[in-house]
Every structure is written in C-alpha cells, then in structure tokens.
C-alpha cells in the first residue's frame, strides 16, 4: 500500500524545475535535494512551502542574500546529513512549514541538526501560529506562511547572526 500526499494549491501553478523525464525514473527515498545553492543561509522547506521559500529566495537574491534551499523529499526518513553539510557552510538555518508551531517538524529538524554541530546554530522557524486554520481564504492567506514572512525571517537571521569562522 502507498499513501501519497500533495498540496492542492500546487495544482495549476508553475513549478520550478518541472522538467519531468519521459522515461521511467526513481527519486532516491530518504535523500534530500538541494534545489538552490547559496552561501548565506540554509532554508529547509517541503511541499507548497518549498515554492514559497523559492520565491522568497529569488527576491532576496536581488538584495545580495544567497539562499541555499533544501527539499527534504521525505520527512521519515529525514536526510539530516544534507542539512548538516549545508549549515556547516551557511551557519544559519530557517525551516518553513505550513503547520502550526507547536509540535511542528521544523523543531525536530533543528534539534537533530544542532546535535551534530560543534557551534550554536542560529535558527528561525517559519510556521503558522498555534490555532485553528481559518476557513475564509483571506484569513487563511494571513495565517499560512508566505514569501514575505519567509523573506523577513531570512533577512533577520542574516542581519542578526553574523557568521563567525
């Protein structure tokens, strides 16, 4: 049996890197993908939030902020090694999830990464606030992380956490 989840708001939209091969292929299970290479901050995001983070990264590039964007592809198993290697380079981590903050996987990601480092990693989670998801579209848009909120978090961590070699 297989259970496959995908975000309904991804339907009908342009997806970056959407070159789907004609022949059969397999994506390595449990292996994250670096969607965008960068030097200043590592951003970990999945599903629709990956696209939100990608748009934020493109905007910030114009401001001289270089974002490394990681698509985990799977959360269990979680490819911690790819994240650790990235944050060893950028020395900062922002994790983005549409879920509410309490009990969110972004905190697990940070905890698992931090345990493998010999320095204190600056971290900002970008999540929905704790509470019930509103049903009205305009309220939902304000509730769920967007490119503006993700961009603000990235700018904050870069400005407030100077890299110390």
- Supply the pTM of this predicted model: 0.89
**Distances 129 to 8, 37, 104 between C-alpha atoms, Å:** 21, 29, 11
Domains and CATH numbers, the chain: 30-160 (3.40.50.920)
Tokens of 89: 């380079």
H/E segment holding residue 41: strand 41-45
pLDDT value of residue 10? 65
Tokens of 127: 């999540």
User: For the residues 14-40, what does the mean pLDDT come to?
Assistant: 84
65-114 pLDDT, tens digit per residue, is: 999 999 999 999 999 999 999 999 999 999 999 999 999 999 999 999 99
Rounded CA separation 164/81 (Å) = 22
Mean pLDDT of the residues in the chain: 91
pLDDT value of residue 9? 66
Rounded CA separation 2/151 (Å) = 35
Q: What is the CA radius of gyration of the chain?
A: 16
Inter-residue contact 92 to 125 (CB < 8 Å): no
Cross-strand bridge partners of residue 67: 41
């Amino acid at each position: 049996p297989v259970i496959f989840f995908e975000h309904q708001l991804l339907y009908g939209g342009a997806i970056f890197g959407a070159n789907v091969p004609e022949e059969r292929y397999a994506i390595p299970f449990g292996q994250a993908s670096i969607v965008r290479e960068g030097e200043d901050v590592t951003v970990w995001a999945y599903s629709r939030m990956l696209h939100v983070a990608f748009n934020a990264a493109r905007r910030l590039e114009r401001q001289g902020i270089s974002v490394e964007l990681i698509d985990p592809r799977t959360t269990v198993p979680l490819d911690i090694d790819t994240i650790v290697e990235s944050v060893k380079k950028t020395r900062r981590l922002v994790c983005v999830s549409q879920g509410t903050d309490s009990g969110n996987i972004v905190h697990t990601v940070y905890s698992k990464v931090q345990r493998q480092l010999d320095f204190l990693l600056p971290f900002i989670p970008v999540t929905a606030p704790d509470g019930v998801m509103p049903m009205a579209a305009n309220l939902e848009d304000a509730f769920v992380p967007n490119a503006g909120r993700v961009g603000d978090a990235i700018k904050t961590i870069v400005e407030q956490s100077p890299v110390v070699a």
